Structure 1
Amino acid sequence: MTGPTEHRFAAANGELCWFEWGYPADRRPTLLLLHATGFHARCWDATIAALPTDWHIIALDLRGHGRSYRPASLSDWLATADDVVDFVQATCASPVFAVGHSMGGYVAARTAALVPENIAGLLLVDPVMMPREFYGDVPQNLDEELEDHPVARRRSCWKGADQMNAHFSARSPYAQWRPDVLSDYCRFGLVPALGGDDWELACPPALEASAYMGSWRNNPYDWIGAITCPTTILRARNAERQGPMDFSISPTAPDLSAAIAGAKDLHWPEISHFIPMEVPDRLAALMASLSQPG
């Protein structure tokens, strides 16, 4: 498989970075991979390495992540999906099979609802689509709540990827990740810091926190019924979450598949929310089986 080749796309609100492996083929759809909050396109590298070498794969840095443009906030997940709609309509000559993890699952689903002609199928990997009762009114003091969010206070500057990797490798949840995925997360998740020799997170902590704040603002049940393509929802382990940042447990509504006509539900109860980070080979096998024509 050739690649990855780095590209740029001018979406309506800013420039997106995207990576491409292989070449389009008539016998199967292109795979479009959308990452989780705080991550980036290259977190898919280990999964891609386990796929057949003759496939065509695209992975996007969503707005505010990786090497894509930084908006003022990421709390509007519908706007993040609008970028992806722009991208697939302008870049993909035929319908794609979209795979989205966490927030990326929400974005993939929203894209399929808006432009069904561009999406051949969906695999939503533990998408952040919670039970209906979690979605409510937006508080008036959102900025104050953002300042208090634990992600807004996370460390941003590092001497390099090796230092970041060493810091995280013994800490949960990173200690449960495959080491090569953690290495990719650190290596491609830093950009040069302004005015110095250090490196900083490509998705700044305050911006990442704004995306988490958006997780309960953007009610998917307003539009999810418009999805018509074949859809599989893969859920991680179920239990009562110990707060919104407990990613050992799935944030996906157990009955989410009932909201999408014909959707299939899969449950991997031994895996945490970080499915692509813990079992990329197993996920790649599932992607391959679902995206085959016929």
Structure 2
Amino acid sequence: MDAAPREHRLDTPDGELCWFEWGAPSDRPSFLLLHATGFHARLWDQLVAALPPGVHVIAPDHRGHGRSAKPSTLADWTATADFLLPLIDRFAGNPLTGGGHSMGGYVLTRLAALRPAAFRHIVLVDPVIMPPTFYEGGNAPEIVDPAEHPVARRRSRWDSWEAMAAHFSARPPYSHWQPAVLADYCRYGLLPAPDGEGWELACPPHLEASVYQNALRTDPYGWLGAVTVPVSVIRARTGEREGNLDFSVSPTWPELGATVGAVRDEQWAELSHFIPMEAPARLADLLAGI
């Protein structure tokens, strides 16, 4: 694959959408890759590098993330999905194989339900979809000021991406990532600080915190039945989670694949929730084989 993607901007009703593109549309399906909360589209670089030559790949920055528009807060993931609809419509007639990690997987299910003709297959990589009873029982986190959420206190300012990478390289979960993926996360996950002094996270901590406050408030089973394309589910190892921010094990309901009639339902038990960061080439092989 081309080493560097082309960066594009698309005006939407909810602000500017930044997206990246490798290759060009052809008679083969294109890949649409959707990242997780707090990350950005260029975290897919190592996976894309492992795909066969000549494939077409589209990877957007979600609203509030990367180089896309920054609202004052981020509501539930339905709004995150709807923000991407103009990009999906841009490629009407060019069937997509979708791959979505964590929030990206949840979002991908809604896109496939709203635009069934746009997709030929969707791959949900640990998509953070809970059992139906979770949404019925009012178990969503209590709404509090996002500034009080632990994520809001993340360090936002850095002297350089190299300093950020060095800081995280020995700390879980980043220490388990492939070094090249961590470098991409830091290199492309910072933007120049407004005051001209150093760099700041492209997903501001208060926005990431608002995602965690709102993400699980909408029941995806309201549209999962409308997903008609083949679905693959890939889950990380299971275990008891030590709080909502513990991603050493899978946050996905183990019965999700059976519930949606997945054509592939696999547990990659040696990996944490951060599957694309720990095994990008393995995930690339799976996507290329669909």
Q: Does 1:20 find its partner at 2:30? A: no
Are the counterparts in 2 of residues 224 and 259 from structure 1 also a CA contact under 8 Å?
Answer: no
Stretches of structure 2 lacking an aligned partner (at least 5 in a row): none
Are the counterparts in 2 of residues 101 and 124 from structure 1 also a CA contact under 8 Å?
Answer: yes
Alignment: residue pair count: 288
- 1:138-195 deviation per Cα after TM superposition (whole angstroms, max 9, x unaligned): 8896243x22211011100000101100110010100000000000000000001111
Distance 1:172 1:121, change over 3 A: same
Are the counterparts in 2 of residues 64 and 207 from structure 1 also a CA contact under 8 Å?
Answer: yes
Are the counterparts in 2 of residues 33 and 100 from structure 1 also a CA contact under 8 Å?
Answer: yes
**1:128 match:** 128
* Alpha-carbon distance, 1:92 to partner: 4.3
Superposed, 1:25-104 pairs within 5 Å as 25-26=26-27, 28-104=28-104
In 2: Cα distance, 1:158 partner to 1:229 partner = 43
Are the counterparts in 2 of residues 228 and 261 from structure 1 also a CA contact under 8 Å?
Answer: no
Q: Does 1:6 find its partner at 2:7? A: yes
* Alpha-carbon distance, 1:197 to partner: 1.8
- 1:99-145 deviation per Cα after TM superposition (whole angstroms, max 9, x unaligned): 0000000011110011101111100011010122332548896243x
Superposed, 1:156-171 pairs within 5 Å as 156-171=156-171
Distance 1:244 1:139, change over 3 A: closer
In 1: Cα distance, 2:133 partner to 2:200 partner = 37
Superposed, 1:1-294 pairs within 5 Å as 1-2=1-2, 3-26=4-27, 28-135=28-135, 136-137=137-138, 142-144=143-145, 146-290=146-290
Are the counterparts in 1 of residues 77 and 107 from structure 2 also a CA contact under 8 Å?
Answer: yes
TM-score (normalizing by structure 1): 0.94
* Cα RMSD, aligned residues only: 1.6
- 1:14-38 deviation per Cα after TM superposition (whole angstroms, max 9, x unaligned): 1111111011111x21000000000
In 2: Cα distance, 1:171 partner to 1:92 partner = 42
Identity of matched residues, %:
55
TM-score (normalizing by structure 2): 0.95
In 1: Cα distance, 2:80 partner to 2:141 partner = 22
Stretches of structure 1 lacking an aligned partner (at least 5 in a row): none
In 1: Cα distance, 2:24 partner to 2:167 partner = 37
Are the counterparts in 2 of residues 8 and 17 from structure 1 also a CA contact under 8 Å?
Answer: yes
The letter of the residue matching 1:274 is F
Are the counterparts in 2 of residues 227 and 261 from structure 1 also a CA contact under 8 Å?
Answer: no
The letter of the residue matching 1:256 is L
- 1:230-249 deviation per Cα after TM superposition (whole angstroms, max 9, x unaligned): 11000000111111000001
| Matched position secondary structure for 1:142 | coil
Are the counterparts in 1 of residues 123 and 232 from structure 2 also a CA contact under 8 Å?
Answer: yes
| Matched position secondary structure for 1:223 | helix
Superposed structure 1 runs of 4+ greater than 6 Å apart: 138-141
In 2: Cα distance, 1:259 partner to 1:183 partner = 37
| Matched position secondary structure for 2:21 | strand
Are the counterparts in 1 of residues 232 and 265 from structure 2 also a CA contact under 8 Å?
Answer: yes
